[in-house]
């Protein structure tokens, strides 16, 4: 069965962020991810992880001015100095938390951008990706890039899996991988299983949520039991981040996880 990490930005919102570590551990998770750690000190978060025997598997680089709509700065002209400062800040957190994957958000493209503007953005993005890969690679840390659907995040620079994997290859860095969120893939292009099979060697992290509601992965148009079996079949040994919005109290919606664990147990018993 895949390894599941609770996303503490979206799950366990019944309590404040510091208390979500305890809630995740009590619910049976051994790993967590979150969008941004920067409202708390590295030592605080490291302490919560240690206290509850949790591994932090992912967080994002500083995204620019999130409160005013920025969604990353890696493709934005004139922000190179700020980007490099963000890399240094994220590295401090990653080293303190023992985190082995960080997500580099691309940023938004201006409405009506022409081919020349898009080419410039790609050039800037690739330069920043190579820089981040070198810095984090020195510490055996993976840099992830993620296509995001335009319904949730209109104008995001990275949209398709093919686009992201082309950038991964062009970076020339072994520690650059693609973060494949099945929720975004289904909305943008569908064909999740075949896309995963095609790119599995370049995928460094998976995330899940139902489509279209982005709730627990037990409803909607995506067959998650099938996809969980696919991950095992393809030998995927990374983490699966539960980046969904619970319909109600988080713990009350974890029946899908118990069902996945039961299915794995029954399959193992049948094959022994």
Say how far apart CA 11 and CA 13 lie, in whole Å.
Answer: 5
| Mean local confidence (pLDDT), 190-212 | 98
Per-residue pLDDT tens over the stretch 72-93 = 999 999 999 999 999 999 999 9
Strands (E), 146-271: 176-181, 203-208, 239-242
Give CA angle at 106 (105, 108), nearest 5°: 120
Confidence tier at 272 by pLDDT (50, 70, 90): very low
Which among 23, 49, 59 is positioned nearest to 250, based on CA atoms? 23
pTM of the full structure? 0.95
**How many C-beta atoms surround the C-beta of residue 266 within 10 A?**
10
Say how far apart CA 207 and CA 249 lie, in whole Å.
Answer: 20
| Mean local confidence (pLDDT), 235-254 | 97
Per-residue pLDDT tens over the stretch 22-76 = 999 999 999 999 999 999 999 999 999 999 999 999 999 999 999 999 999 999 9
What is the full DSSP assignment across 68-88? GT--B-TT-TT-HHHHHHHHH
Confidence tier at 264 by pLDDT (50, 70, 90): low
**Catalytic residue set:** 146, 243
Per-residue pLDDT tens over the stretch 142-166 = 999 999 999 999 999 999 999 999 9
């Amino acid at each position: 069965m895949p390894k599941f990490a609770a996303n503490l930005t979206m799950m366990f919102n019944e309590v404040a962020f510091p208390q979500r570590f305890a809630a995740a551990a009590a619910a049976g998770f051994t790993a967590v991810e979150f969008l941004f750690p920067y409202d708390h000190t590295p030592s605080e978060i490291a302490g919560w992880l240690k206290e509850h025997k949790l591994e932090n598997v992912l967080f994002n680089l500083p995204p620019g001015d999130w409160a005013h709509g920025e969604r990353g700065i890696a493709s934005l002209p004139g922000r190179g100095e700020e980007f490099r400062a963000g890399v240094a800040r994220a590295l401090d957190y990653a080293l303190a938390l023992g985190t082995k994957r960080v997500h580099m958000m691309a940023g938004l493209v201006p409405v009506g951008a022409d081919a020349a503007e898009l080419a410039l953005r790609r050039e800037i993005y690739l330069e920043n990706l190579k820089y981040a890969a070198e810095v984090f690679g020195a510490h055996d840390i993976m840099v992830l890039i993620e296509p995001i659907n335009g319904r949730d995040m209109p104008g995001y620079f990275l949209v398709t899996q093919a686009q992201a994997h082309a950038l991964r290859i062009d970076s020339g860095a072994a520690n650059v991988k693609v973060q494949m969120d099945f929720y975004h893939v289904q909305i943008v292009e569908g064909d999740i299983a075949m896309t995963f099979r095609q790119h599995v060697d370049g995928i460094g992290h998976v995330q899940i949520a139902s489509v279209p509601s982005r709730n627990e992965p037990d409803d909607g148009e995506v067959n998650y039991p099938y996809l969980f079996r696919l991950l095992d079949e393809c030998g995927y040994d990374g983490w699966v981040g539960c980046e969904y919005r619970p319909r109600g109290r988080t713990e009350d919606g974890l029946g899908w996880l118990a069902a996945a664990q039961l299915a794995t147990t029954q399959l193992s018993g049948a094959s022994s």
